[in-house]
Amino acid sequence: MELTACKQCGTVVGMPEHLSPSQYRCPYCNALLHRRGQAFTDIIIMAVTTLLLFVPLTFLPVLSLNIMGIRSSATLFEALWQLYADGYHIIAVLSILTGLLIPVLMMVLLLLILVPIRLGYRPKTVALYYRIYDHMKEWGMAEVYLISIMVAIIKLSKMATLHVGLGLFVFVFFFLTFYITTVWFNPDDIWDEDAVAE
Amino acid sequence: MRLPSDIELGKALCLHCEKLHPVTRHTCTRCGAPVHQRIPDSIPKTWSFAIASMLFLIPANLLPMMIVNSIAGKDAGTIMEGVLYFFHHGSYGIAFVIFTASVFVPFFKVTVLIYLLLIVHFGWASRAMQGLKLFRIIHFVGKWSMLDIFVVALMVGLVQFGGLATIVTGPAALTFAFAVVMTMLATESFDSRLLFDIGRKREAAAMNKTIHEGKRDGK
């Protein structure tokens, strides 16, 4: 029996040595204490898929507009970069970071954490990456960006003729694989391996 | 049976890898992160971020979010005007999404944060569980307030037609973005365990007292 404490209410809880695949919840406040994650190899494959899907996003247009014969189209980056060019540096940097770069960095960090562990390195060597990942988690907003594209489409459809670009479909898949990767990853598993190694 | 807290047992939890340490330890042996029994300065930090976001929310709602320049003329709109525009044009779904994400959620978050701070400040132990439930809600919805910022950013980026039509960001976009970031920082600095600490301390004290009195009666 190993003791742990609930992050949300501070109750000290004893966890069984061999965890069953079911979820463990705090007996006092019902917060999630433990759930089983997917195998590391699966997560690595998913993270690589997400990163590969990101590549076309850098050059495929998400939307193109047509007002009286003039066309304008933009990729996910260009749309946000225009703000920077207009002098709104803070908002531009903030949206590019939260909407695109942090999700991508999270995938890179996951690979930096999981690949060495899979190759047999001690979890302590990747602990720093995990801490950075943990800090970033709150700030990745790919899903908000995705929904905002939908809202923008509805808003713009009243102003101009719209063509949805291939980039939008790729972005939907990018978000889905990103989401699956983060859900599959259970940080407890990193340290579980540690116990085996010792 | 009473469930003891980490404070009563003299333990401190690493918030990154969730290993439980004796309270004397300041660095996690498993992941190397700094270990504190409670988030340091949680209450003053949360107060400052909550107040800052409240101040940023005022101009964010009064100033225009984006300005549309087209042949039809110049059109500047605040967040609420955007919501009303969709409402009048029959797009109730979109009006609802924008209203929830940009108006309701930020105000709800700030209100809940202040309520939580008051629970801790006055030690309203009976409201701790309710407070935790509210805290989980604002933690979950937090990032969705950024929706409108992204919408404005996208529209500015896409609608660049020189003399025909351009969209520029209004001053509210920046203050709104700041307000959202401040509420997120406030949520991150708030340590929900503080909600329960006072109640637990009282319970423990009451129990000690009964044991003590019991002993005295026995003699």
Question: CA-to-CA distance for A165 and A185, rounded, in angstroms?
Answer: 31
Question: Do A16 and A53 belong together in one domain?
Answer: no
Question: Do B47 and B33 belong together in one domain?
Answer: no
Q: How is residue A10 written in tokens?
A: 């501070």
Question: Do A1 and A98 belong together in one domain?
Answer: no
Question: Do B13 and B92 belong together in one domain?
Answer: no
Tokens 């999630």 map to which residue? A32
DSSP codes of every residue in A39-69: PHHHHHHHHHHHHHHHHHHTTS-SEEEEETT
Question: Do B6 and B53 belong together in one domain?
Answer: no
What value does the mean pLDDT of chain B take?
87
Tell me how close the Cα of B211 comes to any Cα of chain A, in angstroms: 22
Question: Do B50 and B82 belong together in one domain?
Answer: yes
Question: CA-to-CA distance for A123 and A35, rounded, in angstroms?
Answer: 19
What are B215's strand-pairing partners? Answer: none
Identify the pLDDT of residue A104.
96
Question: Do A73 and A110 belong together in one domain?
Answer: yes
Identify the pLDDT of residue A26.
92
Is residue B128 within 8 Å of B196, Cβ to Cβ?
yes
Identify the pLDDT of residue A98.
93
Question: CA-to-CA distance for B182 and B49, rounded, in angstroms?
Answer: 5
Question: Do A43 and A18 belong together in one domain?
Answer: no
Find residues 45-104 of chain A whose CB sits inside 8 Å of chain B. 63, 65, 67-68, 70, 72-74, 78-83, 86, 88, 90-92, 94-95, 98-99
Tokens 């009976």 map to which residue? B126
Nearest Cα to Cα of residue B195 among B113, B114, B127: B127
Question: Do A135 and A50 belong together in one domain?
Answer: yes
Q: What is the mean pLDDT of residues A121-134?
A: 89
* Each residue's pLDDT tens digit, A139-195: 999 999 999 988 888 888 877 788 888 999 999 999 999 999 999 998 888 886 444
Question: Do B63 and B10 belong together in one domain?
Answer: no
Question: Do A46 and A28 belong together in one domain?
Answer: no
Using a CB-CB distance cutoff of 8 angstroms, which residues of chain B are in contact with residue A68?
A: 164
Q: How is residue A27 written in tokens?
A: 């007996």
* Each residue's pLDDT tens digit, A11-37: 999 888 777 778 889 999 999 988 888
E-state strands within B52-126:
66-70, 73-77
> Are B192 and A72 in contact (CB < 8 Å)?
no
Residues A12, A184, A53, CA angle at the centre, nearest 5°? 145
Q: What percent of chain A has pLDDT over 70?
A: 96
The complex's ipTM? 0.86
Contacts of B132 (CB under 8 A, 6+ apart): A8, A9, A29, B192, B195, B196
Using a CB-CB distance cutoff of 8 angstroms, which residues of chain B are in contact with residue A27?
A: 3
**Helix, strand, coil percentages for chain A (3-state, nearest 5):** 60, 15, 25
Tell me how close the Cα of B117 comes to any Cα of chain A, in angstroms: 15
Rg (CA), chain B: 24
Tokens 């193109």 map to which residue? A64
Give the N- to C-terminal CA distance of chain A in Å, as an integer.
17
Identify the pLDDT of residue A188.
83
What are A73's strand-pairing partners? Answer: A64
Domain count, chain B: 2
Contacts of B49 (CB under 8 A, 6+ apart): B182, B183, B185, B186, B189
DSSP codes of every residue in B9-65: TTEEE-TTT--EEETT--B-TTT--B--SS-TTHHHHHHHHHHHHHHHHHHHHHS-S
Question: CA-to-CA distance for B190 and B47, rounded, in angstroms?
Answer: 9
Identify the pLDDT of residue B162.
66
Question: CA-to-CA distance for A46 and A29, rounded, in angstroms?
Answer: 33
Question: Do A78 and A2 belong together in one domain?
Answer: no
* Each residue's pLDDT tens digit, B142-181: 888 888 888 888 888 877 776 677 888 888 989 999 999 9
Find residues 139-168 of chain B whose CB sits inside 8 Å of chain A. 142-144, 146-151, 153-161, 164-165, 168
What value does the mean pLDDT of chain A take?
87
Domain CATH code at residue B65: 1.20.140
Domain count, chain A: 2
Question: Do B14 and B103 belong together in one domain?
Answer: no
Identify the pLDDT of residue B135.
96
Identify the pLDDT of residue B219.
47
For residue A147, with 0-12 CB atoms within 10 Å meaning exposed, 13-18 middle and 19 or more buried, which class applies? middle
Ranges of residues in chain B with a pLDDT under 70 are 1, 162-163, 214-219
Domain span including residue A72: 38-197
DSSP codes of every residue in A85-128: HTT-HHHHHHHHIIIIIHHHHHHHHHHHHHHHHHTT--GGGGHH
Nearest Cα to Cα of residue B130 among A13, A33, A9: A9
What are B21's strand-pairing partners? Answer: B12
Question: Do A70 and A46 belong together in one domain?
Answer: yes
> Are A5 and B13 in contact (CB < 8 Å)?
yes
Question: Do B47 and B29 belong together in one domain?
Answer: no
Nearest Cα to Cα of residue B82 among B60, B64, B107, B57: B64
Question: Do A20 and A61 belong together in one domain?
Answer: no
Domain span including residue B75: 41-218
Half-sphere exposure of B161 (CA within 13 A, CB side): 19
Question: Do A56 and A12 belong together in one domain?
Answer: no
Question: Do B124 and B144 belong together in one domain?
Answer: yes
Is A144 at the interface with chain B, CB within 8 A? yes
Question: Do A95 and A162 belong together in one domain?
Answer: yes
Question: Do B49 and B33 belong together in one domain?
Answer: no
Question: Do B1 and B77 belong together in one domain?
Answer: no
Q: How is residue A58 written in tokens?
A: 């850098």
Using a CB-CB distance cutoff of 8 angstroms, which residues of chain A are in contact with residue B33?
A: 127, 131
Residues A168, B65, A86, CA angle at the centre, nearest 5°? 70
Question: Do B25 and B61 belong together in one domain?
Answer: no
Q: Is the pLDDT of residue A51 over 50?
A: yes
Find residues 32-71 of chain B whose CB sits inside 8 Å of chain A. 32-33, 70
Query: Which helix (H) or strand (E) element contains residue A6?
Result: none
Question: Do A84 and A3 belong together in one domain?
Answer: no
Using a CB-CB distance cutoff of 8 angstroms, which residues of chain B are in contact with residue A98?
A: 143, 146
Domain CATH code at residue A188: 1.20.140
The alpha carbon torsion through A57, A60, A61, A62 (nearest 10 deg) reads: -40
Question: Do B25 and B51 belong together in one domain?
Answer: no
DSSP 8-state code for residue B72: T
Using a CB-CB distance cutoff of 8 angstroms, which residues of chain A are in contact with residue B156?
A: 79, 82-83, 86, 88
